Amino acid sequence: MSYKVALNFEDGVTRFIEVDSGETVADAAYRQGINIPLDCRDGACGACKCLAEAGRYDLGDNYIEDALSEAEKAEGLVLTCQMRLESDCVLRIPASSEVCKTEQASYEALISDVRALSDSVISLSIKGASLARLSFLPGQYVNLRVPGSDQTRAYSFSSLPQDGEVSFLIRNVPGGLMSGYLSRQARAGDAMTLTGPLGSFYLREIRRPLLMLAGGTGLAPFTAMLEKIAESGSEHPIHLIYGVTHDADLVEMDRLEEFVARIPNFSFTACVASPESSHPHKGYVTQHIAPVHLNDGEVDIYLCGPPPMVEAVNGFLREQGIQPANFHYEKFAASV
């Protein structure tokens, strides 16, 4: 039996390793060519200390308090030279991928589907044998090379990997390099290169109600997260507020309705900012956040969208005097 561990490095790179039952995480990483920080291998020095963000594990009792104190253990810190797994796990490594002598993985794949979902949003799917070994945490992104150029653009996965295929939700930015390629040239069968996965915006263990706030194609990481939640379930309520600028920007509504049917605790509100909108819910995302969604701060907030939206939500929470238990965000910043 083996488990999968996501190693998240300081520079945003994520690598996945297989850890056999009974094997320590440090041994498994070394076996797979990744030099995570390590010294004594004996539970004495603390050099291999990392933060476990998810998963069940056993640290045994062969380490000393100087290497890992009870308080550190209670915070989720672990010694990878002592850590044996009881489930898949996510570890934050306090070093860069370069220092650990690993790097982002690259994959070659072909476009399997590209189509306009509306005037402003493109759906892209790519498929390839190499993607069968691609793993990522729902919410993470990759860099896609723009065919015919040496430039890359960051895109969040909007799906989980399935049969070597992954999907994206891409805003058609007027005059944009990738947008121009996808809207005018791209055809099924075209080659694409992706590098990653990357990023610290991913679904953590659900320990309290979740509030998901999506702006435009910032919906993408949430559909990947919701796919995962539909598989694993949630004891806590999850509410998504999905805001766009114009009616034409609103996409994937059928898919969100399907999530409502598949996830018993899930609900969502869509809203459109433009005063000309004919949508029943008008205004910005912040205008649709109700006190029940904030649960007096006992809530984990995930936020993804353009930088001004991230700032607006930050300002809103400050005004409301709400300090959420956890606040994770991803800004869809322009690359150029």
Ligand X SMILES: Cc1cc2nc3c(=O)[nH]c(=O)nc-3n(C[C@H](O)[C@H](O)[C@H](O)COP(=O)(O)OP(=O)(O)OC[C@H]3O[C@@H](n4cnc5c(N)ncnc54)[C@H](O)[C@@H]3O)c2cc1C
How far does Cα 69 stand from its chain's mean position?
A: 30
Residue with smaller CB distance to ligand FES, 49 or 331: 49
CA 327 vs CA 133, 201, 304, 308, 315: distances in Å: 31, 10, 11, 17, 13
Nearest by Cα to 149 from 182, 120, 107, 104: 182
The three-class DSSP label of residue 177 is: helix
Question: Which of ligand X, ligand FES, none does residue 141 bind (CB under 5 to 8 Å by kind)?
Answer: ligand X
DSSP string of 317-332?
HHHHT---SEEEEEE-
The residues in 248-277 that bind ligand X, with binding defined as CB under 6 A, are none
The answer to whether 220 contacts ligand X (rule: CB under 6 A) is yes
CA gap 152, 138 in Å, rounded: 21
Say how many C-beta atoms besides its own lie within 10 A of residue 75's C-beta: 10
The answer to whether 43 contacts ligand FES (rule: CB under 6 A) is yes
Question: Which of ligand FES, ligand X, none does residue 220 bind (CB under 5 to 8 Å by kind)?
Answer: ligand X
Which strands form 14-20's sheet, in the order they lie side by side? 14-20, 2-8, 89-92, 49-54, 77-79
The answer to whether 139 contacts ligand X (rule: CB under 6 A) is no
Question: Which of ligand FES, ligand X, none does residue 81 bind (CB under 5 to 8 Å by kind)?
Answer: ligand FES
Question: Which of ligand FES, ligand X, none does residue 237 bind (CB under 5 to 8 Å by kind)?
Answer: none
Question: Which of ligand X, ligand FES, none does residue 43 bind (CB under 5 to 8 Å by kind)?
Answer: ligand FES
Structure tokens belonging to residue 320: 């409301």
The answer to whether 335 contacts ligand X (rule: CB under 6 A) is yes
Q: Is 34 left (phi over 0), alpha (psi -120 to 50) or beta?
A: beta
Which of 40, 230, 248, 322 is close enough to bind ligand FES by CB under 6 A? 40
Contact 156, 141 (CB under 8 A): yes
Question: Which of ligand FES, ligand X, none does residue 67 bind (CB under 5 to 8 Å by kind)?
Answer: ligand FES
Residue with smaller CB distance to ligand X, 168 or 268: 168
Question: Which of ligand FES, ligand X, none does residue 48 bind (CB under 5 to 8 Å by kind)?
Answer: ligand FES
In angstroms, what is the minimal distance from the CB of 256 to ligand X? 16
Nearest by Cα to 36 from 86, 99, 127, 84: 99
The site that binds ligand FES (CB under 6 A) totals a number of residues, namely 14
In angstroms, what is the minimal distance from the CB of 308 to ligand X? 10
Residue with smaller CB distance to ligand FES, 67 or 250: 67
The answer to whether 153 contacts ligand X (rule: CB under 6 A) is yes
The answer to whether 141 contacts ligand X (rule: CB under 6 A) is yes
Nearest by Cα to 243 from 202, 292, 302, 283: 283
Task: Please give the single-letter amino acid code of residue 330.
Answer: E
In angstroms, what is the minimal distance from the CB of 80 to ligand FES? 7
> Which residues form the interface with ligand FES (CB under 6 A)?
38-48, 67, 79, 81
> Which residues form the interface with ligand X (CB under 6 A)?
141, 153-156, 168-171, 173, 175-179, 199, 217, 220, 306, 330, 332-336
